[in-house]
């Protein structure tokens, strides 16, 4: 990938109202990030936006790239050879990630270990021991650098291979007490971040971080989790991505085990030792990259629906949308329009800030 294309892709994903799915849709439609950037103002205007769309300038994109280089991080774009293939197969794969440490480790078969931040001593000991055994078996252990189970998993797998996925920028360690662990992972493993360098983690960043943890992995193992735990979000995302979901059973008297026990009740694989994990993923292979186009870098521009068709469709699409999410397929059937027309109208509305995309190919009014 040329430096110019990488710069344009960074500008595109940093543009207001452009999320990962919209980014990939724009690349499919226009063939390159430069062509998509040129089309954005008109698309947003057609969707009903009055104010100009905030598009990251070339100067700001260059500053972000330089900041990454100065910090020692590498920017990887989806479609580049070193971009992790399992993650690239996810529909909302991050178009750009920052990587510190040994990026080649991300090519390994990987398993995620996640769980409670306020984990029990036994839970942390089990996670550390299990991660050590999985690392020794040649697996990359992925987690989120959080307190509790995440910290134990990284510590156990440090010698064998571990990757930490951050909710903020690649240079922001959270929680701060994991500064030394972060440095150790950079030295021996890999650190991955989707957010721009310097970004302080906020609550809304963690679910996005969780989809990257599961996306890098063949399966997700939950060691301890309450019923309303972020770890269960990771497990749900793993299920949506076609990954294996595994859980460690715990005492029914401990609220930190209610979530994991419920996962087992719903059919998750029960794990008591490393061999259980290895057996669960034995026949699994990294998901194939979905065919967004024949060539991510020089895709031919897809035929755009005519303005007459789009004009008729806009009011119909808005009429069928509401605050409750619906899938794109349901929207196509409900409107009785062609998929290209509906997708283009949804793209216009999203860029205008009137529609939001949600997990599971769903959309709703913003």
- Domain membership of residue 79 (yes or no) is no
What is the pLDDT at residue 285? 74
- Domain membership of residue 153 (yes or no) is yes
Query: In the 8-state DSSP scheme, what is residue 99?
Result: E
Same domain, 144 and 265: yes
Number of domains in the chain: 2
Q: Which of 224, 247, 280 is the last residue of a domain?
A: 280
Position of tokens 């969780």?
210
Q: Which of 194, 251, 174 is nearest to 75 (CA)?
A: 194
Same domain, 161 and 50: no
- Domain membership of residue 289 (yes or no) is no
- Domain membership of residue 78 (yes or no) is no
What is the pLDDT at residue 309? 82
C-alpha of 116 from chain center: 20
CATH number for the domain spanning 269: value is: 3.40.50.450
Report the run of H or E that residue 344 belongs to, with start and end: helix 339-351
Dihedral angle computed from the Cα positions of residues 298, 359, 207 and 243, in that order, rounded to the nearest 10 degrees: -80
- Domain membership of residue 271 (yes or no) is yes
What is the pLDDT at residue 283? 82
Per-residue b or e along 269-307, where b marks 16 or more CB atoms closer than 10 Å to that residue's CB: bebeebeebeebbeeeebbebeebbeebbebeeeeebee
Tens digit of each residue's pLDDT, the chain (366 residues): 888 999 999 999 999 999 999 999 999 989 999 999 999 999 999 999 999 999 999 999 999 999 999 999 999 999 898 999 999 999 899 999 999 999 999 999 999 999 999 999 999 999 999 999 999 999 999 999 999 999 999 999 999 999 999 999 999 999 999 999 999 999 999 999 999 999 999 999 999 999 999 999 999 999 999 998 999 999 999 999 999 999 999 999 999 999 999 999 999 999 999 999 999 999 877 665 544 333 333 344 446 778 888 888 899 999 999 999 999 999 999 999 999 999 999 999 999 999 998 877 889 998
Identify any residues that bridge with 97 across adjacent strands, giving them in sequence order. 76
Same domain, 136 and 196: yes
Cβ 79 vs Cβ 113: under 8 Å: no
User: Cα-flanking dihedrals φ and ψ of residue 215, to 5°?
Assistant: -65, -30
Same domain, 308 and 190: no
- Domain membership of residue 58 (yes or no) is yes
- In this structure, what token pair is assigned to residue 162? 């571990």
C-alpha of 117 from chain center: 21
Domain that holds residue 268: 85-280
Cβ 242 vs Cβ 204: under 8 Å: no
Do the strands 219-222 and 190-193 form a parallel or antiparallel pair, or are they unpaired? unpaired
Report the run of H or E that residue 162 belongs to, with start and end: strand 162-166
DSSP 276-314: HHHHHTTT--PPPPP-S-S-SSSPPPPPPPPHHHHHHHH
């Amino acid at each position: 990938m040329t430096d110019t294309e990488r710069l344009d892709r960074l500008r595109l994903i940093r543009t207001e109202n452009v999320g990962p799915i919209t980014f990939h849709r724009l690349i499919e439609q226009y063939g390159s990030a430069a062509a998509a950037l040129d089309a954005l103002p008109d698309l947003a205007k057609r969707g009903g936006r009055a104010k100009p769309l905030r598009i990251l300038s070339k100067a700001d994109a260059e500053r972000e790239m330089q900041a990454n280089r100065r910090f020692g991080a590498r920017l990887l774009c989806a479609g580049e050879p070193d971009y992790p293939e399992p993650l690239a197969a996810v529909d909302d794969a991050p178009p750009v990630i920052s990587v510190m440490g040994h990026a080649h480790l991300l090519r390994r078969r990987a398993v995620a270990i996640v769980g409670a931040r306020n984990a029990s001593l036994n839970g942390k000991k089990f996670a550390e021991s299990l991660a050590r055994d999985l690392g020794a078996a040649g697996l990359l252990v992925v987690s989120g650098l959080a307190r509790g189970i995440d910290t134990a998993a990284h510590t156990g797998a440090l010698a064998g291979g571990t990757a930490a996925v951050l909710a903020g920028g690649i240079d922001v360690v959270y929680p701060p007490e994991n500064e030394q662990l972060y440095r150790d992972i950079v030295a021996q493993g890999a650190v991955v971040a989707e957010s721009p360098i310097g970004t302080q983690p906020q609550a809304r960043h963690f679910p996005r971080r969780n989809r990257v943890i599961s996306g890098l992995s063949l399966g997700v193992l939950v060691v301890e989790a309450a019923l309303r735990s972020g770890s269960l979000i990771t497990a749900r995302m793993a299920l949506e991505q076609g990954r294996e979901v595994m859980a460690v059973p715990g005492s029914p008297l401990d609220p930190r085990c209610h979530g994991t026990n419920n996962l087992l009740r719903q059919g998750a694989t029960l794990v008591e030792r490393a061999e259980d994990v290895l057996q669960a993923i034995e026949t699994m292979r990294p998901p194939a990259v979905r065919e967004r186009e024949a060539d991510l870098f020089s895709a031919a521009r897809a035929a755009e629906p005519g303005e007459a068709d789009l004009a008729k469709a806009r009011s119909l699409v808005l009429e069928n949308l509401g605050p409750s999410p619906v899938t794109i397929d349901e929207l196509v059937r409900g409107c009785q329009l062609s998929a290209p027309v509906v997708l283009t109208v949804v793209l216009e509305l999203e860029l205008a800030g009137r529609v939001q995309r949600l997990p599971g190919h769903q959309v709703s009014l913003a």
